[in-house]
Structure 1
Amino acid sequence: MKKKLALNELRNTCDTGTVVIESADLTQISNPIIGQPRASKALKLGVGIKSDGFNIYASGMAGSGRLTAVKIFVQEPAKSEATPGDWCYVNNFRDPYQPTKLSLPTGRGIAFKKEMKDLIVDVWQSLFKAFESEEYANRRLKVISAFEEQQSQAINVLSERAKEESLLLKQTPWEIITIPMIDGEPLTDEQFGALPQWQQDDLRKKQDKFLDEIKVKLSELRKQEKAVNRELSKLEKDVAIITISSRIEDVAGNYKQVPLVLEYLMDVKNDILDNLAEFLLAHKSQGGNNGQRASNFLNRYEVNVLVDNSELNGAPVIIEQNPTYSNLMGRVEKESYMGTMLTDFTMIRKGSLHAANGGYLIIRVEELLRNYFSWNALKRALKTKEIVIEEAGEQYGFFTTKTLKPEAIPLHVKVILIGHPTYYHLLFSYEPEFKGLFKVKADFDTEMDRTPKGESEYSRFVQYTCKNENLLKPGADAVARVVEYGSRLVSDQHKLSTRFGDIADIVREAHHYALGDKSDHITESHILKAIEEELYRSNLIQEKINEMITTGQLFIDLKGEKTGQINGLSVIDLGDIAFGRPNRITCSVNLGKEGVVAIEREAELSGPIHTKGVMILSGYLSEKYFQNSPASIVARIVFEQSYSEVEGDSASSAELYTILSSLSKLPIKQGIAVTGSVNQKGEVQAIGGVNEKIEGYFEVCRSVGLTGEQGVIIPASNVRNLMLKDEVLKAVSQQQFNIWAVDTIDDGIEILTGVKSGSPVQEGTVAYFVKQALDEYADRMKEFSNQENNAEIV
């Protein structure tokens, strides 16, 4: 089949009459994942199943709206789920290096922190008043007075005994000493030294003997003093217990259903009692010279609220944009004090796993895999169902310094990874535990069916974007153009692109131009301008190539007829733009045995797919023309003025046309460019970038001058891919430019030469002329072989 395409076949236009402009509230979209039934079903399954391992991998191309769609999708069920409780870390009084976790009802974390702060202040004030009270002072004085009286009586008894031994008892601040006396008067050192030796010895013996008695008595007094101190401590503790218990009980009454809090409050009570003196001193010293030390001591009674869900309604939905190890798992911060790095449980900080606990955590897999330790840490947390905060290096034994080991927090979270399909396949193939942890794959397609429902969803998306971002309201003609642009992005008249990021960008840019025109709404012209300006910002290289063609630096013939020469079409993809450009392809034929030879292949500038396409040409020629005789030609084909690798088989039909033209001596119309691959049966197969190729060639023709004889031949199977620009449609409607669709090489050669393709036995046809040329080459090869054989005989 061959035919010149009609105007309505070149683009599937959207009728403005079918576009409905909503007047209702568009702040909510009923189905946030437009045109993705497969992904929606998978997400619904993953969110609904709470069993282990049913985490989700949202697979799709960048720009398909995966992140936004997933976020909106999970937010709705999250609202109806229970709000998780708060998590706190408190001091472990038995081992401060292993802080204790506390799970509190939702919103009680901050309240408990304040209650504890008030409790400590209240306890100190109450203790201060209790210990300053007259009742406590009298009870203490009574105990001390009784001991002092006993001590005084014991000293008096010793003094009387000393006098009996002619000794004077004297008490110093450090000890009790004895001084010899004669006639009731104490001796000085000079007087003692003047005494006879026997008398000195006698006095020393008395002193030593009496000192033994003093030691015994002092030992008894020390025992009494210890007993008194114990009694005073007991008195102090009894008063403290009475004072503290009532305050602790007031707080404990609010947490009867939280046994761990009650246990912690008892630990606080016991710690204050065990460190009563330092506790009282710490409060008194705050703000003074010992303020830092006092503050460090009082920090032991702080409450570190790790996760506060007081303002959360339903389950949390957290998007971690930078999933470093610390951002994911949490960390223990440190601060410098006098050249030393210090830390305690109050410096424990949450990670996104803590924030998402009880809800959903969304992570881009590219970012996750880019950060060291993050993937292994997430995998370990999901397997063990707990969050362990530790230094990243500790997992591998890199650090041995002593640091905090906070108690692990139970983990209940649904993780949704968002990434390219390549990452999914790599993880599935090379990460043994991936399949067990992410059992649900939500596959986002790059396109959706262009049905009335699909067009309606597109319309609602455009209007929702405008309303949500305070853009001007779009008109029906503008929405229709956006729908057509969606088909253009996927190059399919019956599909729409799901790259909603690109769609929204066009609408935003159109809004900008509408404001510049002082329009009250976005029109079709604004959408078209946005599309054109986006192209203009990136097509500098295309314009330079077209300029080289128009100035004759690149040889491209756009009129007349030539034998063995044709304009093939290729696509240059620069990432932000893809555009078509014509390439002159030529063929020379002469006697030989090599068959079809691609000069690019011989020069090692041919990619494997292009090489395959050239070999297919040989297969076609062999089946149609070399059934009864060997090939006796060498046909050299080349891309003229091409100095880089040639890849792809979309030019194989053009290459075959040049070979047929060279053999048949029939000239090809140079105004017609060709694209399409070919198989060994001569069928022309679909190729990619058909819109870019047609429009690229059209731009070249328009810059030189349209003649009405120019056009493009494309595979018939590519007709559904046509979504051409207005300029091309206008030229076609004015019969200045033509587009043909063909099914076979025979169809195409008839358009190019104006001669019927026919069969090798049908006179006046292309096939007949080709066969005649091949037979002539075969005869010449036979004569040449005979001449060589005769020469050898001679």
Structure 2
Amino acid sequence: MARKFPELSVKELRAYIEPETLPFETTASLEAPGDRVVGQERAIDAIQFGMGMKTSGYNIFIAGPAKAGLTFMAKSFIEERARKEPTPPDWCYVFNFKEQDKPKCLKVTPGRGKALKKDMNEFIDTLQAKIPEVFDSDDYRAKESEVHQAFEKQRREIIDELSQQAKDQGFILQFSQVGMVIIPANKEGEPMTQEDLRHLGEEERLVLREKSDELHEKMKEAIKHIREAEAEFKDKHTKLDNEIALFVVGQLMDTYEETYKDDEQVLEYLKMVQEDILENIEDFKKKPEAAQQQGQPGTPFPMPTRETAMRKYDVNVLIDNSETEGAPVVIESNPAYPNIFGSIERQAWFGALFTDHTMIKAGALHKANGGYLVMKALDLLKWFVTYEALKRALRDGEVRIEDLGELYGIFSTRTIRPEPIPLNVKIVLTGDPYIYQLLYTYDDRFQKLFKVKAHMDDQMDRSEDKLLQCAGMISRYCEDHKLRHLDRTGVSRVLEYSVELTEDRDKLTLEFGTIGDLLKEANYFAGIEDCEFVKREHVEQAIKKRIYRSNLIEERMKEMMLKDIFWVETTGGKVGQVNGLSVLMAGDHVFGRPNRITCSVSVGREGMISIDRESKMSGPTHTKGLIILSSILKDRFAHNKPISLNASLCFEQSYGMVDGDSASSTELYVLLSAIADVPIKQGIAVTGSVSQKGEIQPIGGVNHKVKGFFDICKHKGLTGKQGVMIPSKNVRNLMLDQEVIDAAKEGKFHIWPVSTIEEGIELLTGMKAGKLQPDGTYPEGTLFRKVDDRLREIAEIVKTFGKDSDNGRKSSEEEGGCSGCGA
């Protein structure tokens, strides 16, 4: 008889965190940990390195599972350290007086962008008010009159001199619409008529013509002097205007130049503004009231309240860091191109679209310039244009605001091309490690730009200090989200649930998103009972309700098993049949399902066949397990004979893909049972993969598998002989449901750990497996002896059948017959 294998004790079925071991009564008395991120030392070290490396190319990719709080970690950790970094400058766009379609960018001391805009508005408003007053003053009029009179005097002297010369020569200087005209005069000093000219002799006419030509030359000379005098007058008038304007502008400008003496680009801009104002002083001579009246309702052509001519002096504050503490940290959830790189807006104006530097809008890159821009990698990759443009911006070290409409021919209207802004930003992408691997492999530029990988873990070691840190995190979460605090029984259950998620007693989960949802749900149930604190029963209720909301498919499958639609036996013994265990995922719910695995063996040479594999319903890992199974069979029984048999294995009533090697040991047991013709106990379900050496290897989902078989046994009736056989390496992963533990405590359900196939087959059959003896045989009465004898018998049958077939074929050939048709 097989030896009795010890089953696991109740204490080994689950790890408990006793409330009495927690050094607090409620989380309200706990002080939140100073660091908002717990258990991510590796990732934190990488992020710190990436933040410290200011060299281009050291952008950060935070890789980890979705529920590990990647964005929260990036935000909380980076924001805390970014506050200690210098605040970046403000950026403004202003009118380019040299190239009007290329607005200039100004780098301004942090917080001074708004002040510059306000100062420029006040400056222009003051000029619009003061310049008309100055030019309307008596002092200006007197100086203007003086200049004008000097010009008129000079002009009059030139004309009088010309008139006297004409008179001396017998001509009269007259003025008409076409200018000055020299006309011959008679003796009375009156202009000659045509009749008078006809009575003149030929000689007199010739003399008169010569004098006229001479006077016309003098008149041309006089006109030239008059024009020179006009030009001189205009120069003096302009100089006078400039002196007056410069007096007003200069006084105001001196104040602003003193204010912005540390901003070189602003000083250069102010000089250009001053030059432009002096060149266009006529625009300022108009009174503001006249411009305002143009914008009043009822006017035929409404204009903006601020004159169009004055818009070029407006300052567009693109980035204002006046309230920024340290370096900015921007989180962009929708990385569309305009949201990242900014946009150029347009305004409809009498059926046309126009734009200028005041309509340039900032994007996330501008806002994060000098700091950090955090995005989800998957969101960014959905916008291919944005991703490519971002790589180009990082490579060139500048951010350009380009109009996509013009780029793709959507708009044909004229637009502006703002001067690019120098880019000094650290990009932080968050995403799954698989996305990082794909980008690293297939995008060569990604490798050069994202040299820092911060790999976040999904679990951490379970120690006393980590438990207290998690309790502190729970306290902070309750404070941040206005939830009820937990007493220590509630905290202990939350921590146990954290262990359940890792399926490792020595680990705690770092998927704080899942824990946060549990806290909210437990708070809801505590609120229904109007409790001051969340207790263990509230957390337990939240866990059960979460399962209840998602396990409809599991319940339907159990119902079909109870009705024997899905055939699972839990009592008795069967040859070539065993209960295997698998894990099914239905979206947000994972559960275990028993599977009936059968095997039939016959004489033949085809070897082992998996019906699931032949029907293309199994994956490569499952196929690998079958090949290993064949290797073990040869290792145990092909040492002194060839193995010849036909064996077919099948997952009964399986209508989907089968993958994974966790059933390889199960398939080996059922194969041995079928060969030896020894029944397997149907009350024991099996899981575990097997190595070529016959070792039972650990598998995943052990808790779901045990619970799945327990539920079927419970509904069909617990006999006290039922249980699950698991790999001994999986004992540390057990966090079984309390209902299973209670049944084990009463002796109604059992968990057996096994390490080798020999231990497993002894549990399943009640027979001793047997150990290979020096003579190459197994001891009498052992299961392996039965298997070995049956394989030898099959080999002899195949050998004999083969000889008979050969002899029969030879006889047929000698008689001239056909061995294939019996003729």
Q: TM-score range by the shorter chain?
A: over 0.9
Q: Which residue of 1 aligns with 2:818?
A: none
Deviation per CA, 1:33-59: give whole Å up to 9, x if none.
211121122223223343443332211
Q: Which residue of 2 aligns with 1:360?
A: 372
Instruction: Decide which of 570, 576, 586 is 1:558's aligned counterpart.
Output: 570
* One-letter amino acid of the counterpart of residue 764, structure 1: G
Distance in 1, Cα, partners of 2:661 & 2:279: 86
Q: Which residue of 2 aligns with 1:371?
A: 383
**Does the C-alpha gap of structure 1 residues 416 and 27 become closer, same or farther in structure 2, counting only changes over 3 Å?**
farther
**How is 1:113-512 mapped onto 2 (pairs within 5 angstroms)?**
113-155=117-159, 170-177=174-181, 209=213, 214-281=219-286, 283=288, 284-288=290-294, 289=301, 291-292=303-304, 295-391=307-403, 403-512=415-524
Query: Is the contact between residue 2 and residue 743 of structure 1 (CA under 8 Å) also seen in structure 2?
Result: no
**How is 1:21-60 mapped onto 2 (pairs within 5 angstroms)?**
21=24, 29-60=33-64
Instruction: Decide which of 758, 762, 770 is 2:779's aligned counterpart.
Output: 762
Query: Is the contact between residue 282 and residue 295 of structure 1 (CA under 8 Å) also seen in structure 2?
Result: no
* One-letter amino acid of the counterpart of residue 523, structure 2: H
Q: Which residue of 1 aligns with 2:747?
A: 735
Distance in 2, Cα, partners of 1:137 & 1:26: 81
Distance in 1, Cα, partners of 2:417 & 2:551: 58
**Does the C-alpha gap of structure 1 residues 411 and 790 become closer, same or farther in structure 2, counting only changes over 3 Å?**
closer
1:128 to partner: Cα distance: 1.4
Deviation per CA, 1:654-693: give whole Å up to 9, x if none.
2111111112222112222111111222221111111111
- 552-561 or 335-344: which moved more? 335-344
- 8-17 or 597-606: which moved more? 597-606
Q: Which residue of 2 aligns with 1:777?
A: 794
- 784-793 or 269-278: which moved more? 784-793
1:12 to partner: Cα distance: 0.7
Query: Is the contact between residue 695 and residue 724 of structure 1 (CA under 8 Å) also seen in structure 2?
Result: yes
1:787 aligns with 2:792: no
1:423 to partner: Cα distance: 2.4
**Does the C-alpha gap of structure 1 residues 502 and 23 become closer, same or farther in structure 2, counting only changes over 3 Å?**
closer
Query: Is the contact between residue 27 and residue 468 of structure 1 (CA under 8 Å) also seen in structure 2?
Result: no
**Does the C-alpha gap of structure 1 residues 227 and 585 become closer, same or farther in structure 2, counting only changes over 3 Å?**
same
Distance in 1, Cα, partners of 2:457 & 2:51: 20
1:720 aligns with 2:732: yes
- 252-261 or 173-182: which moved more? 173-182
Distance in 2, Cα, partners of 1:389 & 1:269: 28
Q: Which residue of 2 aligns with 1:651?
A: 663
Distance in 2, Cα, partners of 1:194 & 1:27: 122
- Unaligned segments of structure 2, at least 5 residues: 295-300, 772-776, 812-823
Deviation per CA, 1:118-138: give whole Å up to 9, x if none.
111112222112111101101
* One-letter amino acid of the counterpart of residue 62, structure 1: A
Q: Which residue of 2 aligns with 1:662?
A: 674
Distance in 1, Cα, partners of 2:307 & 2:794: 104
1:697 aligns with 2:714: no
**Does the C-alpha gap of structure 1 residues 567 and 287 become closer, same or farther in structure 2, counting only changes over 3 Å?**
farther
Deviation per CA, 1:275-295: give whole Å up to 9, x if none.
111243484424415745973
1:197 to partner: Cα distance: 8.5
- 164-173 or 689-698: which moved more? 164-173
Distance in 1, Cα, partners of 2:617 & 2:722: 30
Query: Is the contact between residue 32 and residue 472 of structure 2 (CA under 8 Å) also seen in structure 1?
Result: no
* One-letter amino acid of the counterpart of residue 447, structure 1: Q
Distance in 2, Cα, partners of 1:668 & 1:370: 54
1:548 to partner: Cα distance: 1.4
1:527 to partner: Cα distance: 1.0
Query: Is the contact between residue 26 and residue 467 of structure 1 (CA under 8 Å) also seen in structure 2?
Result: no
1:393 to partner: Cα distance: 8.6
1:367 to partner: Cα distance: 2.1
Query: Is the contact between residue 182 and residue 212 of structure 2 (CA under 8 Å) also seen in structure 1?
Result: no
Distance in 2, Cα, partners of 1:69 & 1:590: 61
- Three-state SS of the structure 1 residue aligned to 2:330 is strand
Distance in 1, Cα, partners of 2:460 & 2:293: 68
Deviation per CA, 1:508-567: give whole Å up to 9, x if none.
111111111211111111111211222222212111211211122212222222111111
Q: Which residue of 2 aligns with 1:7?
A: 10
1:154 to partner: Cα distance: 4.8
Instruction: Decide which of 88, 91, 94 is 1:90's aligned counterpart.
Output: 94
Query: Is the contact between residue 373 and residue 392 of structure 1 (CA under 8 Å) also seen in structure 2?
Result: no
Deviation per CA, 1:570-597: give whole Å up to 9, x if none.
1112331221111111111111112211
Query: Is the contact between residue 27 and residue 487 of structure 2 (CA under 8 Å) also seen in structure 1?
Result: no
Distance in 2, Cα, partners of 1:768 & 1:127: 116
Query: Is the contact between residue 360 and residue 414 of structure 1 (CA under 8 Å) also seen in structure 2?
Result: yes
Q: Which residue of 2 aligns with 1:70?
A: 74
Deviation per CA, 1:158-194: give whole Å up to 9, x if none.
6666677777655345534567777869789xx8589
Count of residue correspondences: 792
**Does the C-alpha gap of structure 1 residues 197 and 426 become closer, same or farther in structure 2, counting only changes over 3 Å?**
farther
- 50-59 or 692-701: which moved more? 50-59
1:448 to partner: Cα distance: 0.8
- Unaligned segments of structure 1, at least 5 residues: none
* One-letter amino acid of the counterpart of residue 234, structure 2: N
- 743-752 or 388-397: which moved more? 388-397
Query: Is the contact between residue 27 and residue 475 of structure 2 (CA under 8 Å) also seen in structure 1?
Result: no
1:709 to partner: Cα distance: 2.5
- Three-state SS of the structure 2 residue aligned to 1:390 is coil
Q: Which residue of 1 aligns with 2:819?
A: none
Distance in 1, Cα, partners of 2:767 & 2:606: 28
Please report the RMSD computed on the Cα atoms of aligned residues, expressed in angstroms.
3.1
TM-score by length of 2: 0.89
Query: Is the contact between residue 27 and residue 467 of structure 1 (CA under 8 Å) also seen in structure 2?
Result: no
1:738 to partner: Cα distance: 1.8
**Does the C-alpha gap of structure 1 residues 253 and 207 become closer, same or farther in structure 2, counting only changes over 3 Å?**
same
Query: Is the contact between residue 569 and residue 674 of structure 1 (CA under 8 Å) also seen in structure 2?
Result: yes
Distance in 2, Cα, partners of 1:28 & 1:302: 49
Instruction: Decide which of 634, 638, 645 is 2:650's aligned counterpart.
Output: 638
**Does the C-alpha gap of structure 1 residues 144 and 754 become closer, same or farther in structure 2, counting only changes over 3 Å?**
same
- 378-387 or 672-681: which moved more? 378-387
- 638-647 or 482-491: which moved more? 638-647
Distance in 2, Cα, partners of 1:491 & 1:168: 121
- 757-766 or 228-237: which moved more? 757-766
Instruction: Decide which of 547, 552, 575 is 2:559's aligned counterpart.
Output: 547
Distance in 1, Cα, partners of 2:27 & 2:598: 60
Query: Is the contact between residue 316 and residue 359 of structure 1 (CA under 8 Å) also seen in structure 2?
Result: yes
Distance in 1, Cα, partners of 2:466 & 2:306: 69
* One-letter amino acid of the counterpart of residue 713, structure 2: C
Query: Is the contact between residue 26 and residue 463 of structure 1 (CA under 8 Å) also seen in structure 2?
Result: yes
Q: Which residue of 1 aligns with 2:114?
A: 110
Deviation per CA, 1:283-311: give whole Å up to 9, x if none.
44244157459733211111111211111
* Identity between Structure 1 and Structure 2 (%): 41
- Three-state SS of the structure 2 residue aligned to 1:632 is coil
Query: Is the contact between residue 166 and residue 184 of structure 1 (CA under 8 Å) also seen in structure 2?
Result: no
1:630 to partner: Cα distance: 1.6
